[in-house]
Amino acid sequence: MNPEKFSTITAALLSSSAASLKQEVLKVATINDLFELANRVEDARICFKASWALEHILLSEKKLLLSYATPSIEAFLKNSNWSALRSITKLIMELLSLNYPLTQEQEEMIINKTYDILEDSECPIAVRCNGYDILYYLSVKHYWLIDELKNKMQLDIEKNQSAALVSRSKSIYKKLKRISNS
């Protein structure tokens, strides 16, 4: 991306609110531009804002999200910025909830990346909770994940009794119980 375009897009990203994102940012940037910026982990603030913009834009239109499934998955797999991953994991959760058809390789990479995230002691609670949901959606097809996910959530709750972690875990336990009883 040329420096002038980068400056124009970053100015729009940094000055836009969630309500004006679509109108302002998409005047100067394409969704592909936002993915490029979301993968710039060396510039944490821009990486976060681009990911946040993608979350708000793509989750507002499911068809749009589905058409950008591959770049969403790639951004998830490449990204290491916790703030950006908070938004990107929401995109992955939504794709999985919509039963987006993943290849076996994509499933394996998403499972591995999610476990890497959950194993990181620095992982923020919101990203951790989204990781639980990602594994839940994949456990519908990969039953071996059910017990693994239950154990992981139990260990995490023993370490951190945050309300968000406990609440999300209880919700996922209930869903997992329905899967394992069917």
Domain membership of residue 35 (yes or no) is: no
Domain membership of residue 178 (yes or no) is: yes
Six-digit token pair at 2?
């040329």
Q: Is 7's pLDDT higher than 90?
A: no
Domain membership of residue 138 (yes or no) is: yes
Instruction: Kindly state the percentage of the chain with pLDDT values over 90.
Output: 69
pLDDT band at 8 (very low <50, low <70, confident <90, very high): confident
- Rg (Cα) of the chain, in Å, rounded? 17
What single letter denotes the amino acid at residue 50? A
Q: Is 20's pLDDT higher than 80?
A: no
How far is Cα 126 from Cα 120, in angstroms, rounded to an integer? Answer: 13
* Residue 122 CB contacts under 8 Å (≥ 6 apart), including other chains: 82
Q: Which domain holds residue 120?
A: 102-182
Q: Is 182's pLDDT higher than 60?
A: no
| pLDDT (mean) for 104-120 | 96
The position carrying tokens 């394409």 is: 30
Number of structural domains, the chain? 1
Count of residues for the chain? 182
Alpha-carbon dihedral 43, 13, 30, 4, rounded to 10 degrees = -70
